[in-house]
Structure 1
Amino acid sequence: MRSSRVAAKAPEVSATDANENAASGMKRADAGAKSSLVAVKRVVFEPTAPNPTPAPAKSPQGMAWIPGGEFSMGAQDPPEMDDVGMKATVDSRPIHRVYVDGFFMDKTDVTNAEFEKFVKATGYVTVAERKPRAEDYPDAPPENLVAGSVVFAPPNHPVPLDNYFQWWTYVPGANWRHPLGPNSSIVGKDNYPVVHVAYEDVQAYAKWAGKRLPTEAEWEFAARGGLAGKPYVWGDEFRPHGKWMANTHQGHFPDKDAGEDGYTGIAPVAQFPANGYGLYDMAGNVWQWTSDWYRPDYYQQLKSMGVARNPQGPDSAYDPAEPGHAKKVHRGGSFLCTDQYCSRYMVGTRGKGDVDTGTNHLGFRCVMTIQQWETAQKGAVSHSSPGQ
């Protein structure tokens, strides 16, 4: 399988802000097409029914209890949504009912400091730090088989939005320690989200931490924070009372981020208000891995099941734009999302990415079941002894 990880001079970026949005910034002139899009927006959200099970007396450090329950899953288009928004929600329909059990979730994305503890404890080397093997990429020129990752490199002038190679590039030496390349560093950025992590990397961290990645359904239930039928994590309006609620892109995409929300580029975790469950940055800043394979028709399958209980995602991945690529679902949007190009900071929308590819706008957070928490507590007790 050809991967976006190996640069063929211009990488085939799996960054979720890319393929499916390539020309979505253009307005449709056809009023008939527009009216048909508006009709799609008339979706019905039923109330969220939280699980009545009492919350545990204690939560793992840095995690919040998510009660679980039954909810309507999928994208709700805000009023006056333009073609960019409609494009962002096309694989997030139909709205369907899902039930998830309760679980704990990290309050923030995994930070550089947390990931560094894992690396120091295990000696783990991320995918971006490893030199790609020629046998895995037989079509790649030898000079392109260098360790590195995909980095957002904005042009210094406006460009058409139909070719994302104009702002994404494969940078040798880019990895979680050097997010923009070998001359960059995370020194002084302990509380920033770790980025340039491939699916294999985040799975390794989760296992070490005694946790796992959230399913897509768990992620959305948690992100909604108890709200039903709202387009954003925080409610109906993108900027309630003029307040910025997430780290997104302002100004002209991709060449100018005005930083009106206080940040140009990635921000430290927890700089914006938490949602109803006490979770930070469930919209914007960095995309987040989930454990589900990506299929654009998966919601149709779930809809036919009635109320899907604890869905684990499809059995395999399929992206009609890149049929041979194994992709997982990304959620939450990033600091690059904008109403000009990618509006996937909306809570029900979906992203996708190759499992072997990280970028400088992709991170993750973990979840833990009650059973995992109880096992961890028993392990802590068994390793202690009187007098210690």
Structure 2
Amino acid sequence: MILVTPNQELERKNLVPVSALRKLKRLRAPPKHGDFSETASGSKTPGIQGADDPYFKYDIMQELPGGRVTIGSNEPNSMFGEYTTKTLEAKAFLIDKYPVSVAMFQRFLEHKRKYVPRAVSQGYSYVFRNFVNDSLKKSKDVLDKATQYHMVKVSQASWKQPEGPGASKPLNSRLLEPVVHVSFHDASAYCTWKKKRLPTELEWEFAARGRIHDQKFPWGRDYLHNRSNLWDGVFPNRNLMFDGFEGLSPINAFKAQNMYDVYDMLGNTWEWTLSTFREIGTSRTDKTNAKYVIKGASFLDTITGMFNHAARVSARRPVYPNSTLYNLGFRCALSKSAADNLGVNRIPSHTEL
């Protein structure tokens, strides 16, 4: 397919003066997917800059009307308080249509130069054992210390080099992947910079369900390989990649997952929420050693839960706020009233769905 840049199209139709065309020609066409070209503003680090930025369109929120929703699960393999279902009321809110990408997070760090993400400051993070460099793969001592989810502690692994030194592909080839190795505090800092916040578990599950109640997946009852990035095959040695991906996939790799037109809610990465996880027998007000609920499952999880977790809309896990993982990202949310006051860029809700 031949792509025609905006200035070529204008020149062909002769709709603008020559002087204006010359000015347009000094601007580069938007990079192709994964390209790290210089943007129109002259920056060599693409981020969320404006309409001329190829990543701008992924920084948009979906307005949702709120209402009653049944969350949780009655499945026999329910874990971490997923059981049983309960019907709750969600107020109108906005949620990011896409998870926060590497490009978006990079723009945040360019503006907040003094901010140091957790994985960078501590000097390590946890990476799926299959993706570490060859030296670590040969180290029995390192692999023996892998977590139950086959995560390995890797020095210098971070949002910028998710697999760690000697294993990560160039940053410019993964700008549309979800940012990972971010702690709860990193995610909160980014959302605050955007004048947003993390979604609550109720908001996250409301958005993921898309008005479809009592179904496992955002799109309905049956799993579809072309809608989500999950593990296919025998974990951890063989991923058949029916969905087309071995590891992380771009945030736009699959079409919207439900009628609310949100992307990547299920699979690819788990996502932070604002909701604290309450252990059985502890007080709701006890914030000591608090864990936070993460939602969505990741590419390491399976449909049935035979390996790792059962990937479904109700899936949840408790994680400490300082944790950083190869399969954990986030997206932001905002109440409708706050969004109205801020004039946030959004797509209106479709209450007729």
- Same topology, TM > 0.5: yes
Aligned to 1:139: none
- Aligned positions of 1:264-275 closer than 5 A: 264-274=246-256, 275=258
Alignment-mate amino acid for residue 105 of structure 1: I
- How far has the Cα of 1:154 moved from its partner? 3.2
- Determine which structure has greater relative contact order: mean sequence separation of CA pairs < 8 Å that are 6+ residues apart, divided by chain length: 1
Q: 1:89 to 1:244 in 2, by over 3 A?
A: farther
Q: How does 1:177-326 map to 2 (within 5 A)?
A: 177-183=160-166, 184=168, 185-239=170-224, 243-274=225-256, 275-297=258-280, 314-316=284-286, 325-326=289-290
Distance in 2 (CA, whole Å) between partners of 1:205 and 1:166 is 27
With 285-294 and 344-353 compared, the bigger mean Cα shift is at 344-353
Residue 119 of structure 2 corresponds to 128
Structure 2's unaligned 5+ residue stretches are 1-57, 132-136, 138-145, 345-353
Q: How many positions carry a matched residue from both structures?
A: 271
**SS at 1:244's partner residue?**
helix
Change (3 A) 1:208 1:166: closer
Question: Shift of the alpha carbon at 1:271?
Answer: 1.7
Alignment of 1:308-387 (within 5 A): 314-316=284-286, 325-338=289-302, 339=304, 340-377=306-343
Match of 2:21 in 1: none
Where 1:365 maps in the other structure, the secondary structure is coil
Q: Is the 8 A contact 2:63 2:336 kept in 1?
A: no
Q: Provide the TM-score with structure 1 as the length reference.
A: 0.65
Secondary structure of 1:373 counterpart? helix
Matched, 1:73 2:71: yes
Query: Structure 1 residue 350: deviation in Å?
Result: 1.1
C-alpha deviations, 1:72-93, integer Å up to 9, x for none?
A: 111143xxxxxxxx33446212
Which residue of the partner structure matches residue 107 of structure 1? 97
Q: 1:27 maps to what in 2?
A: none
**Cα distance 1:203–1:167, how it changes in 2: closer, same or farther (>3 A)?**
same
CA RMSD of aligned residues (A): 2.7
Separation in 2 of the partners of 1:210 and 1:66?
18
CA distance in 1, matches of 2:149, 2:99: 28
- TM-score, normalised by the number of residues in structure 2: 0.71
Counterpart residue type for residue 148 of structure 1: Y
The whole-number CA distance in structure 2 between the counterparts of 1:61 and 1:266 is: 19
- Picking from 87, 91, 103, the partner of 1:97 is 87
Q: What letter corresponds to residue 336 of structure 1 in structure 2?
A: L
Which position in structure 2 is the counterpart of 1:142?
Answer: none
Runs (5+) with no aligned partner, structure 1: 1-59, 78-85, 132-146, 157-162, 302-313, 318-323, 379-388
Residue number in structure 2 paired with 1:22: none
Q: Distance in 2 between matches of 1:201 and 1:221?
A: 24
> Percent sequence identity over matched residues?
32
CA–CA separation in structure 2 for the residues paired with 1:90 and 1:122:
36
Amino acid at match of 1:75: S
